[in-house]
Amino acid sequence: MPLGERNWDKSESRYCGVETEFHDDMPQLLAYNISSGGFDFVVAPLMDPSYRPSLMGKDCGGSGVLPFAGSDLVLSPSQWSSHVVGKVSPWIDLDSEDEILRIDSETTLKQEIAWASHLSLQACLLPAPKGTSCANYARCVNQILLGLNNMKLWLRIPLLKTDDDSIDVNSIHPVDSWELWNSFRMLCEHHSQLSIALDILSSIPSANSLGRWFGESVRAAIMDTDSFLTNARGYPCLSKRHQKLVAGYFNHSVQIVVSGKPIHGLPSGGTDLAADHNDRNFDAVQRHPLRPYLDYIGYLYQKMDPLPEQERFELGYRDFLQSPLQPLMDNLEAQTYETFEKDAVKYIQYQRAICKALQDTVPEEKASTLTIVLMVVGAGRGPLVRASLQAAEETGRKLKIYAVEKNPNAIVTLHSLVKLEGWEDTVTIISSDMRHWDASEKADILVSELLGSFGDNELSPECLDGAQRFLKDDGISIPSSYTSFIQPVTASKLYNDVKSHKDLVHFETAYVVKLHNVARLAASQPVFTFTHPNKSSKGSNQRHKKLRFEIPSDTGSAMVHGFAGYFDATLYKDVHLGIEPSTATPNMFSWFAIFFPLRTPVIVHSGSTLEVHFWRCCSPTKVWYEWCVTSPCPSPIHNSNGRSYWVGL
């Protein structure tokens, strides 16, 4: 049964598995661990561990029947697919110097994967590479992935504590677990179909080192019983760091698998497990020695804070690549307007900024006699018009509003809104592109919401530069400035989604995306800043910026798949709006981040420097971005000459 009832959570992390030994009676294995034990699935060997192909003829008298754990008929197809994850024999070593072992390993791997695929299992667990040299193992897995349709392969990787001097550098695994994973996938051409099962031990790496895994394709976390502590009542529990790690896995659809022998015996006479954790079926605890561990995992799952309403709304957009809006070129649809208009937080911030601007423009003693001219450029269906009128009412100021909008469909809605609300004497609707309209008078305040995920990517600078000719010399622009930011990220899912298009143009496109399964490898840095009104000379909207990111010394090695872009805007004075992580406006959903992919990912190491260049390029007809890496290894300049661009100038 699932770990708990959380109506909004439909992810795989609701289900907890258990790693078992080989058992030739699969129905009994499932009955013991699932029906009685309460686990949702088993990670079980499919082949007798004593089997070796080179000995098959002698042991089986030439019968050729492989010693699998029962035939496919012992369970129904739905039981095989829902409750069993196959576990490939851990003894295999496809890169062994022993030729017989190497050949046996390759044969067994292919036989077991073929059997698991025949059973329609959802996944199969591969053993960790035995050492730093794993070329033959990767080659065989790559061949297998070519023939797989639906079944996933999980590669087991031990999560070693790289920042601990006690690690034996001569051990079977390299010090950095990520290096083990990366060396394997770099050899495996079809690694996009390969996932990771992390072995969680009693000692775990630093937060930065752990964080990079959230950008990789982790599907399972195998929690060894040795990683559990003992609480005051004798039950298993986890350290605070382990608890935080498990909570992160729950939030990233990673399934927990309990493994190992029970090392926490139930206290004598202890019957009230629910006093420490939720008890799903106490009778089962007495029958299954690993049940206390399952109940503790369930307890951690159920005590998680519920997702805020905003996050629930965004669930369907997580890691989903979207082309940015181009409102200067395209007329937005009603559904798009409606989505943005529901963002109450954004308009509250705008109203606050307009209130401050009105109070600064009109002294209290002139509030009843002086009328302010306010222009909303890019008025859409009127939310900023409403916010402006509410600000005027709140401050006791008088307004004359021009609502300028180029979309003829939105103009229809604006006229209806003005008539419905009785604003005819206050609001004048202008059906025109703001850059080409000849205003009859100049504005005291110019209000717009032309910001994109990267600040300037929806051509706010070009639009407002064109509109500022009808702003008074001492007039106020809201927003008054905005800055774009970028940071390097590990984002294997996003990278593989871009790569799946198998062309260059998709790697030279910036995407709007609700980032989720990503690892942020360094703090974001500012790129381009625009101020309004713009006092610079014409053509200054073309920019170039070189950035140097320092990778924290405790991160370990990591892969940079691209750059996440954000913005932070000053609407007026101390009123801000933005999505840059360190200063993001809470509970605002109008903007997701923007993702600039790299054609070839770049490996960075602890304490190293990543040097990046970004350009904002302009021509008479289009605006576009170019980007590249120059250190530690140079990349091509992406989107050179603006193959992917924003048009409408």
Which amino acids are annotated catalytic? 449, 458
CA distances from 357 to 31, 298, 348, 571 (A): 70, 52, 14, 10
Q: Name the one residue in this structure whose structure tokens are 């390299």.
A: 174
Q: Which residues does 398 contact at the CB level (< 8 Å), separation at least 6?
A: 367, 368, 370, 371, 372, 392
How buried is residue 143: exposed, middle or buried, by Cβ count under 10 Å (0-12/13-18/19+)?
middle
Cβ–Cβ < 8 Å for 277, 235:
yes
Q: How far apart are CA 526 and CA 537, in angstroms?
A: 22
One-character DSSP codes across 556-589: --EEEEEEEEEEEEEEETTEEEE--TTTPPTT--
Q: How far apart are CA 80 and CA 67, in angstroms?
A: 18
CA dihedral sign of residues 588, 589, 591, 596? positive
Structure tokens at 349: 């911030």
How many helices (H) and strands (E) the chain has is answered by 17, 26
Cβ–Cβ < 8 Å for 512, 600:
no
3-state secondary structure (DSSP) of residue 330:
coil
φ/ψ bin of 347: left (φ > 0), alpha (ψ from -120 to 50), beta (otherwise): alpha
Rounded to a whole number, what is the distance in angstroms from the first to the last CA of the chain? 58
Which H/E stretch holds residue 349?
A: helix 344-361
Q: Name the one residue in this structure whose structure tokens are 């996003």.
A: 494
Which H/E stretch holds residue 526?
A: strand 525-531
> Taking the CB of residue 35, how many other CB atoms lie within 10 A of it?
12
Task: Give the β-pairing of 16-19 and 609-618.
Answer: unpaired
Cβ–Cβ < 8 Å for 125, 96:
no
Q: What is the DSSP letter of 506?
A: G
Size (the chain), residues: 649
Cis previous bond, 526, omega within 30 = no
Q: Which residues does 412 contact at the CB level (< 8 Å), separation at least 6?
A: none
